[in-house]
Amino acid sequence: MTLDRTRDALTQLFYRGGSIVLFVLLWQLACSAGLAPETFVASPVVIVETLWSYILDGSLYRHSVVSLSRAFYGFILAVAVAVPLGFMLGGWFKSFERIMGPLLTFLGQFNPFALFSVFLLLFGIGEVSKVAMIFWVAIWPVLFNAALGVRTVDPLHVKLARSMGMGRIRLLWKIVIPSSASFLFSGLRLAAATAFFMLIPAEMMGASRGLGWLIINAQVNYQIPKLYTGTLVIVVFGLLIDLLFKLLEKKVVVWKEAKVL
Amino acid sequence: MAAEFGQLSPAGAGAPGATGVMGAFEPPKSLEEKEAQSFSRRVMSWYGIIAFLALWQIGPWLGLFDARFIPPFSEVLKDGWILIRTGEFFIHVATSAQRALLGLFGAIAVGVPCGVCLAGFFPRVTRFLNPLLSLLGSINPFALFPLFILLFGVGEVAKFAIIFWSALFPVLNFTIYGVVNVEPILVKAARSMGADRGQIFWKVILPGSIPSIFTGFKMGATVAFLFLIAAEMLSATAGMGYMIHNASVNNYIPRIYLGVLGIALMGMGMSVLINRLEGLLMSYKEEAAAS
């Protein structure tokens, strides 16, 4: 019985991480055997060494804090604008949705890189243009998911609540927000991922600190291990942000399981 | 419904950002809603866009914003007309479209057969490789930009590689997801009626995974356009990204806005095209509903 369970756990582990471990091993072997040219490919061991030295001298912490705070400001601004707008779009005011829906869809198609030139023009090359770019990309997932969430609220619940004399504010708070919460959360998760995603090119285009700058600086100075280390750090942060929002959703949206039962 | 939405995207399918950035606004339509979509309603849906353009046009005149930084819409159109007359506009559009399509088709040509074969014939291998594939898909392609430039230079090959790489993972991951998640009852039913492996593959698994595969196409196309512009801004001598970059370097403001609008329209056209194609291929769905 316990043997079976350990075997199951091992199989699970094998399927979960086996391929990644294998990939890293092959990579290391290829580097050690000289199959991969050192000028282009840094071996995992070198990457970990570089990473460790960055952690020790504190530069990793410095760059991460700068990058994360930029992403955070853009994200928070986007959420503050998009959630109310999304609720209005989702059905609070029917005509508002009909008029604004197509326009917002069109605006959502605007390529963030194309707009970066515009943002530079309007806000200069400082922090504001970076935050504006992150704001721009983070706003759409929240907006559209909030609208979708409101639209999927069971009309029966709304009618029931209204017939029991619930006011508009309480209706929003007690019915609309809880029933659309899982959509809202997937919007938030997507927006956070997008914000961090766009942060990197924004920092590549003009910054003196941050993870994107780290990479572009490594490229300009032809420091290959640094390049790979920066990429690794960005990947890890992306995964962590995703995980954080998944956990947060589980903590906040506790009533979701009850529905399935 | 909510749970379904959550499952819609396989973990780390390509660039997470791209869907959100350019995700189309498609409200789920009920039957009554479709019937009620009369002429006046369709006209109404243009009001917002027209009002936006009107505001853009008269904004500088009203003193809302500076015409040097946000030139009125008519100036943008005028510049567009100049470029169309000289034919330069079509060169940019064609170059960009060619690059995006080449990368996207490359990704489809590799991703779909690989995904179908992996998930269809080697389910264990697929399960083993899945974490690696989603990890690779979740690597920010921007972080890889410098690497691609080191490996492939700054020419067409590098642009193709960037677009191919970024579009490959959404296509591949959604294909695998679609094949793995084909309704098991359908497969069992076909098997119990004596279908052999080939028949099950062609008649059940492939049609069953088409919706997911098309979701992958859409995400791949969105991502391809996103990175096309970024790649063209880094280094190019033609294309929409180059047009914007060049205009921005030369401080020719109306052309920046022209480029922004042009790219948005191109992206929208692409998604319409893919939706049409999906409608054509998915015609069996309606037949099934009618019978």
The verdict on residue A127 lying in a domain is yes
Does residue B14 carry a pLDDT above 70?
no
The DSSP string of B116-176 is HHHHHH-HHHHHHHHHHHHHHHTS-HHHHHHHHHHHHTTSHHHHHHHHHHHHHHHHHHHHH
Report the alpha-carbon distance of residue A17 to residue A105 in Å, rounded: 39
The verdict on residue A39 lying in a domain is no
* C-beta atoms of B257 and A193 within 8 A: no
Indicate the burial class of A53 (C-beta count within 10 angstroms; 0-12, 13-18, 19 or more): middle
Does residue B27 carry a pLDDT above 60?
no
Minimal-distance CA residue of chain B relative to A120: B248
Instruction: Check whether residue A9 and residue A68 sit in a common domain.
Output: no
How many other C-beta atoms can be found within 10 angstroms of the C-beta atom of residue B97?
17
Chain A residue numbers with beta carbons less than 8 Å from the beta carbon of B256 are: 114, 117-118, 121
Report the alpha-carbon distance of residue B45 to residue B43 in Å, rounded: 5
Instruction: Check whether residue A68 and residue A149 sit in a common domain.
Output: yes
| Beta carbons of A110 and B260 less than 8 angstroms apart | yes
Structure tokens at B282: 């998915």
CA torsion, points B252, B257, B263, B269, in degrees to nearest 10? -140
Instruction: Check whether residue A19 and residue A84 sit in a common domain.
Output: no
Sign of the torsion formed by the C-alpha atoms of A132, A134, A135 and A139: positive
pLDDT at B26: 47
* C-beta atoms of A19 and B131 within 8 A: yes
Work out the angle at residue B29's Cα, subtended by the Cα atoms of residues B27 and B33, and round it to the nearest 5 degrees: 120
* C-beta atoms of A227 and B147 within 8 A: yes
Chain B residue numbers with beta carbons less than 8 Å from the beta carbon of A138 are: 20
Tell me the pLDDT of chain B averaged across its residues.
78
The verdict on residue A207 lying in a domain is yes
The verdict on residue A183 lying in a domain is yes
Confidence of residue B21 (pLDDT cuts 50, 70, 90): very low
Query: A139-178 burial, b for 16+ CB within 10 Å, e for fewer?
Result: bbbbbbbbbbbbbbbeeeebeebeeeebeeeebeeebbbb
The DSSP element (H or E) to which B5 belongs, if any, is helix B2-7
Instruction: Check whether residue A98 and residue A220 sit in a common domain.
Output: yes
Chain A contact for B47 (CB, 8 A cutoff): yes
Q: What is the pTM of this model?
A: 0.79
The residue segments making up the domain with residue A60 are 44-256
| Beta carbons of B231 and B241 less than 8 angstroms apart | yes
The verdict on residue A215 lying in a domain is yes
* C-beta atoms of B140 and A238 within 8 A: yes
Greater confidence (A92 vs B62) lies with: B62
pLDDT at B105: 92
Indicate the burial class of B213 (C-beta count within 10 angstroms; 0-12, 13-18, 19 or more): buried
Chain B contact for A227 (CB, 8 A cutoff): yes
Domain count, chain A: 2
What lies within 8 Å, CB to CB, of B128 at 6+ separation is A14, A15, A18, A19
Instruction: Check whether residue A140 and residue A14 sit in a common domain.
Output: no
Selecting from A112, A122, A194 the residue whose C-beta is nearest the C-beta of B16 gives A194
Q: Which amino acid is at A66?
A: V
pLDDT at A77: 93
Chain B residue numbers with beta carbons less than 8 Å from the beta carbon of A147 are: 25, 27
Instruction: Check whether residue A128 and residue A187 sit in a common domain.
Output: yes
Q: What is the pLDDT of residues B175-208, one digit of tens each?
A: 998 888 888 888 888 888 888 888 888 888 888 8
Q: What is the pLDDT of residues B56-104, one digit of tens each?
A: 888 778 877 777 778 888 888 888 888 888 888 888 888 888 888 899 9
Minimal-distance CA residue of chain A relative to B127: A15
Report the alpha-carbon distance of residue B100 to residue B106 in Å, rounded: 10
How many other C-beta atoms can be found within 10 angstroms of the C-beta atom of residue B74?
12
**Closest C-alpha to A191, from A136, A148, A141:** A141
Q: ipTM surpassing 0.90, yes or no?
A: no
Report the alpha-carbon distance of residue B291 to residue A92 in Å, rounded: 38
Report the alpha-carbon distance of residue B92 to residue B95 in Å, rounded: 5
Does residue A123 carry a pLDDT above 90?
no
Interface test with A, best of B5, B142, B263 (most A CBs within 10 A): B142
Q: What is the pLDDT of residues A105-122, one digit of tens each?
A: 778 878 788 788 888 888
Question: What is the radius of gyration, based on Cα positions, of chain B?
Answer: 22
Report the alpha-carbon distance of residue B106 to residue B231 in Å, rounded: 17
Chain B residue numbers with beta carbons less than 8 Å from the beta carbon of A15 are: 127-128, 130-131
Question: Can you tell me the mean pLDDT for B256-276?
Answer: 86
Query: A242-253 burial, b for 16+ CB within 10 Å, e for fewer?
Result: beebeeebeeee
Instruction: Check whether residue A50 and residue A4 sit in a common domain.
Output: no
pLDDT at B291: 38
pLDDT at B8: 38
Question: Can you tell me the mean pLDDT for A121-142?
Answer: 86
Does residue A151 carry a pLDDT above 50?
yes
The verdict on residue A154 lying in a domain is yes
Minimal-distance CA residue of chain B relative to A260: B3
| Beta carbons of A203 and A130 less than 8 angstroms apart | yes
Backbone angles phi, psi at B229, to 5 degrees: -65, -45
Instruction: Check whether residue A68 and residue A190 sit in a common domain.
Output: yes
Selecting from B46, B130, B151 the residue whose C-beta is nearest the C-beta of A40 gives B151
| Region of residue B139 (left: phi > 0; alpha: psi -120 to 50; beta: else) | beta
> What percentage of chain B exceeds 70 in pLDDT?
81
Instruction: Check whether residue A216 and residue A149 sit in a common domain.
Output: yes
Greater confidence (B40 vs A130) lies with: A130
| Beta carbons of B231 and B156 less than 8 angstroms apart | no
SS (H, E, C) chain A: CHHHHHHHHHHHHHHHHHHHHHHHHHHHHHHHCCCCCCCCCCCHHHHHHHHHHHHHHCHHHHHHHHHHHHHHHHHHHHHHHHHHHHHHHHHHCHHHHHHHHHHHHHHHCCCHHHHHHHHHHHHCCCHHHHHHHHHHHHHHHHHHHHHHHHHCCCHHHHHHHHHCCCCHHHHHHHHHHHHHHHHHHHHHHHHHHHHHHHHHHHHHHCCCCCHHHHHHHHHHCCCHHHHHHHHHHHHHHHHHHHHHHHHHHHHHCCCHHHHHC
Greatest distance between any 2 Cα atoms in chain A: 76
Instruction: Check whether residue A28 and residue A51 sit in a common domain.
Output: no
> What percentage of chain A exceeds 70 in pLDDT?
95
The verdict on residue A38 lying in a domain is no
The verdict on residue A144 lying in a domain is yes
How many other C-beta atoms can be found within 10 angstroms of the C-beta atom of residue B206?
16
B201 secondary structure, DSSP code: I
Angle of the B253-281 helix axis to the B283-290 helix axis, nearest 10? 50
Question: Can you tell me the mean pLDDT for A188-200?
Answer: 86
Structure tokens at A176: 């609309």
pLDDT at B3: 32
Query: B262-275 burial, b for 16+ CB within 10 Å, e for fewer?
Result: bbbebbbebbeebe
Report the alpha-carbon distance of residue B266 to residue A109 in Å, rounded: 9
Instruction: Check whether residue A19 and residue A88 sit in a common domain.
Output: no
**Three-class DSSP category at B236:** coil
Q: Which of residues 244-273 of B touch A (CB under 8 A)?
A: 244-245, 247-248, 253, 256-257, 259-260, 263-265, 267-268
Instruction: Check whether residue A163 and residue A108 sit in a common domain.
Output: yes
**Min Cα separation A108/chain B (Å):** 5
> What percentage of chain A exceeds 90 in pLDDT?
4
Q: What is the pLDDT of residues B120-171, one digit of tens each?
A: 888 888 888 888 888 888 887 888 887 888 788 778 888 888 899 999 999 9
Selecting from B28, B132, B241 the residue whose C-beta is nearest the C-beta of A113 gives B241
Q: What is the pLDDT of residues A55-80, one digit of tens each?
A: 888 888 888 898 888 889 999 999 99
Report the alpha-carbon distance of residue B87 to residue A33 in Å, rounded: 54
Greatest distance between any 2 Cα atoms in chain B: 75
Q: Which of residues 72-111 of A touch B (CB under 8 A)?
A: 95, 97-106, 108-111
Q: What is the pLDDT of residues A10-46, one digit of tens each?
A: 888 777 778 888 888 888 888 888 777 777 778 888 8
* C-beta atoms of B45 and A98 within 8 A: yes
Sorted by where each starts, the structural domains of chain B and their CATH numbers stand as 30-67 (no CATH), 71-290 (1.10.3720.10)
